[in-house]
């Protein structure tokens, strides 16, 4: 293959392909006029950001999981190289998610004659109603869909929900549909008891780690598709340290790479997929940071859509500044309570920060699972004013545990997180920024127009309406509302507050310097410009 083209194909090639270039690259079908290429049956159609699938028949004996298969898709302006994968019974699939509308032509490349040189086209139509497209980083520290719609992450963790019975999976999806959660962290390999279907074929008393089980991954993708239908992101955890009996976390580098390539080929076209290289990567003792670096770079090369990608820690933070990492996925139950500490992580990596694990709401005798509902909600609000995002988890005695297997939610935090999400969605775009961040103001929003102050456990009877001077000159008018984040109420304060200089650093309304608070914990104040 032409070296120039091979270098360009892992991501979209932004320059148009001339007919001479197309012919020189061995893609003569791209050089033909559109009318000639469209002779015969009409091309299939797919919605923009949907999934178009090509099915081919090929060898089923030998090492089908090692058969190289890819297809180059181009609309004449840009190109994408998509890997294919083996789906059992001699069936090979390639999945393409068009990033733009219009006619996309494709041609396969494979050393296997039956899979090589196949051509076709697909027309990408307008997106489905309500589909805003895949996610990307926006504004440095936040997320937005491809069409610019902000994404306000309110995540949860249900590690092995996708590997449970169909009935329990249905219950989990019904619970999620009625919840505020728009992202689920979930394992590819189960970390607790699950249905007797496995990602690799059995071999004696162990596993044939060179033979993936397509039925297992078809079942997993059914769960991913159904999450997507609910508008929920699937944060797929590729490795974890809790499968000692299977050894799937401790495969050789070649087997790791085969599995990861398979995952990317099979799942990358789903626009709700995120990649998480590991849960608690520093407990996966069979792998080094260099191993995860190799895997992260592999995903960056092979995923033509550049889906969001992270790696989650136990005690040792990964270097989240690595270019293949889109955002920091953090386990820390304390730092999130101090928005100044939270801001340090943003400032160091200059990327979005998600506290995916801040302990779990529950009543078990482990410190990671004994968080009160109030403590769970508190962490979300502190994370919000710090310009970060937070993840939920729940585990109660006498229950299989939401965070382990999904099912039903029993805790009291969930409706309060729905209230928080409504505040987020009515807030600044693309997200909340810390204001006067190094001076413990505990304010988030957008300087000059929107301020949110969260008081946590403090039971105050009043608050001085003093706003940092950034973005203000005096004369601005604001309305003030008192939010009870536990009772989920919003109480407006009558009249406008008109800003004037207070001192060298703050502005206030000298006629109304304070607002009354009810002397209860879990209160917040929202100040918005009118």
CATH code of residue 487: 2.60.40.3950
- Expressed as residue numbers, the domain containing 496 is 447-529
Q: Indicate whether 294 and 248 sit together in one domain.
A: yes
Residue 17 has pLDDT above 90, yes or no: no
469 vs 457: CA distance, rounded Å? 27
Alpha helices per DSSP H over 242-307: 253-267, 289-302
The mean pLDDT of 73-98, rounded to a whole number, is 98
Q: How far out from the chain centre does Cα 375 lie?
A: 24
| Residue 437 forms part of a structural domain | no
CATH code of residue 380: 3.20.20.80
Q: Indicate whether 375 and 464 sit together in one domain.
A: no
Phi-psi region of 403 (alpha: psi -120 to 50; beta: other; left: phi over 0): alpha
Is residue 105 within 8 A of residue 99, CB to CB? The reply is no
| Residue 278 forms part of a structural domain | yes
As a whole-number percent, the residues of the chain with pLDDT over 90 amount to: 86
Beta bridge partners of 515: 463
Domain boundary among 84, 105, 125: 125
Express each pLDDT in 471-506 by its tens digit: 999 999 999 999 999 999 999 999 999 999 999 999
CATH code of residue 21: 2.60.40.10
Number of domains in the chain: 3
Alpha helices per DSSP H over 231-288: 253-267
**Token digits for 404?**
């382990």
Strand order of the β-sheet with 142-145 is: 135-138, 142-145, 150-151
| Residue 441 forms part of a structural domain | no
Residue 42 has pLDDT above 90, yes or no: no
- Under the banding of pLDDT at 50, 70 and 90, the label for residue 400 is confident
Q: Indicate whether 109 and 140 sit together in one domain.
A: no
What pTM did the predictor assign? Answer: 0.91
| Residue 442 forms part of a structural domain | no
Q: At 176, give phi and psi (nearest 5°).
A: -65, -40
Express each pLDDT in 402-452 by its tens digit: 999 999 999 999 999 999 999 999 999 999 999 998 888 999 999 999 999
Q: Indicate whether 323 and 409 sit together in one domain.
A: yes
The mean pLDDT of 157-171, rounded to a whole number, is 98
Calculate the alpha carbon distances from 103 to 53, 58, 131 in Å: 15, 27, 20
Is residue 403 within 8 A of residue 309, CB to CB? The reply is no
Q: Indicate whether 139 and 104 sit together in one domain.
A: no
Q: Indicate whether 456 and 404 sit together in one domain.
A: no
318 vs 233: CA distance, rounded Å? 23
The mean pLDDT of 244-268, rounded to a whole number, is 95
Res 340: pLDDT:
82
Res 325: pLDDT:
98
**Token digits for 184?**
């689920």
| Residue 112 forms part of a structural domain | yes
Express each pLDDT in 63-80 by its tens digit: 999 999 999 999 999 999
Sort 509 into a burial class: Cβ within 10 Å, 0-12 / 13-18 / 19+.
buried
**Token digits for 129?**
């109603």
Residue 147 has pLDDT above 60, yes or no: yes
Q: Indicate whether 183 and 317 sit together in one domain.
A: yes
Q: Indicate whether 311 and 413 sit together in one domain.
A: yes
Q: Indicate whether 153 and 118 sit together in one domain.
A: no
Q: At 497, give phi and psi (nearest 5°).
A: -105, 125
Give the chain's length: 530
Is residue 234 within 8 A of residue 269, CB to CB? The reply is no
CB neighbours of 457 closer than 8 A, spacing ≥ 6? 378, 521, 522
Express each pLDDT in 318-370 by its tens digit: 999 999 999 999 999 898 998 888 888 999 999 999 999 999 999 999 999 99
Residue 39 has pLDDT above 70, yes or no: no
Calculate the alpha carbon distances from 363 to 28, 397, 399, 411 in Å: 65, 6, 11, 10
Question: Radius of gyration of the chain from Cα atoms?
Answer: 26
160 vs 459: CA distance, rounded Å? 39
35 vs 33: CA distance, rounded Å? 6
| Residue 244 forms part of a structural domain | yes
Q: Indicate whether 311 and 382 sit together in one domain.
A: yes
Q: Indicate whether 362 and 260 sit together in one domain.
A: yes
Which residue would you say has higher pLDDT here, 278 or 11?
278
Beta bridge partners of 390: 355
Res 440: pLDDT:
86
| Residue 439 forms part of a structural domain | no
Q: Indicate whether 459 and 386 sit together in one domain.
A: no
Collapsing DSSP states into helix, strand and coil, what is residue 327? coil
| Residue 228 forms part of a structural domain | yes
Residue 8 has pLDDT above 80, yes or no: no
Express each pLDDT in 95-131 by its tens digit: 999 999 999 999 999 999 999 999 999 999 999 999 9
Res 399: pLDDT:
78
Domain boundary among 392, 425, 458: 425
Residue 1 has pLDDT above 60, yes or no: no
């Amino acid at each position: 293959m032409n070296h120039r083209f091979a270098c360009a194909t892992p991501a979209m090639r932004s320059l148009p392909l001339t007919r001479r270039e197309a012919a020189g690259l061995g893609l003569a079908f791209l050089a033909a006029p559109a009318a000639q290429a469209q002779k015969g049956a009409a091309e299939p159609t797919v919605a923009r950001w949907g999934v178009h699938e090509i099915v081919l028949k090929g060898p089923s004996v030998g090492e089908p999981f090692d058969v190289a298969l890819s297809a180059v898709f181009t609309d004449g302006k840009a190109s994408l190289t998509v890997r294919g994968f083996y789906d059992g019974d001699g069936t090979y699939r390639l999945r393409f998610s068009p990033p733009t509308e219009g006619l996309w032509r494709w041609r396969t490349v494979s050393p296997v004659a039956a899979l090589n040189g196949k051509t076709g086209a697909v027309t990408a139509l307008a997106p489905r109603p309500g589909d805003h497209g895949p996610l990307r980083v926006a504004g440095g520290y936040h997320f937005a869909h491809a069409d610019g719609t902000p994404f306000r992450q309110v995540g949860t963790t249900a590690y092995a929900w996708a590997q449970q019975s169909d009935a329990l999976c249905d219950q989990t999806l019904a619970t999620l549909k009625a919840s505020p959660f728009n992202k689920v962290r979930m394992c590819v390999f189960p970390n607790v008891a699950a249905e007797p279907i496995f990602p690799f074929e059995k071999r004696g008393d162990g596993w044939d780690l060179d033979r993936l089980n397509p039925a297992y991954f078809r079942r997993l993708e059914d769960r991913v598709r159904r999450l997507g239908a609910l508008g929920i992101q699937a944060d797929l955890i590729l490795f974890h340290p809790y499968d000692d009996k299977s050894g799937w976390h401790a495969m050789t580098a070649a087997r790791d790479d085969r599995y990861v390539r398979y995952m990317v080929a099979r799942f990358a076209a789903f626009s709700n997929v995120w990649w998480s290289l590991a849960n608690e990567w520093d407990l996966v003792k069979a792998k080094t940071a260099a191993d995860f670096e190799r895997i992260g770079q592999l995903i960056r090369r092979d995923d033509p859509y550049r889906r969001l990608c992270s790696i989650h820690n136990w005690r040792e933070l990964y270097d989240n500044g690595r270019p293949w990492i889109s955002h920091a996925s953090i386990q820390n139950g304390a730092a999130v309570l101090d928005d100044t500490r939270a801001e340090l992580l943003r400032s160091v990596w200059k990327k979005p920060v998600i506290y995916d694990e801040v302990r779990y709401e529950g009543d078990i005798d482990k410190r990671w699972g004994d968080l009160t509902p109030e403590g769970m909600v508190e962490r979300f609000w502190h994370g919000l004013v710090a310009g970060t995002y937070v993840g939920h988890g729940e585990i109660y005695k006498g229950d299989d545990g939401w965070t382990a297997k999904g099912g039903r939610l029993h805790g009291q935090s969930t409706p309060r997180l729905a209230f928080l999400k409504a505040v987020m969605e009515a807030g600044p775009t693309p997200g909340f920024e810390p204001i006067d961040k190094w001076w413990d103001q505990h304010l988030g929003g957008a300087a000059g127009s929107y301020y949110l102050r969260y008081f946590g456990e403090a039971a105050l009877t009043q608050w001085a309406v003093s706003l940092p001077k950034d973005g203000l000159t005096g004369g601005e008018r604001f309305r003030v509302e008192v939010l009870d984040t536990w009772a989920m109420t919003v109480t407006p304060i009558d009249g406008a507050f008109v800003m004037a200089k207070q001192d060298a650093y703050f502005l206030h309304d000298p006629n109304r310097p304070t607002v009354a608070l009810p002397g209860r914990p879990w209160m917040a104040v929202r100040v918005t410009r009118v």
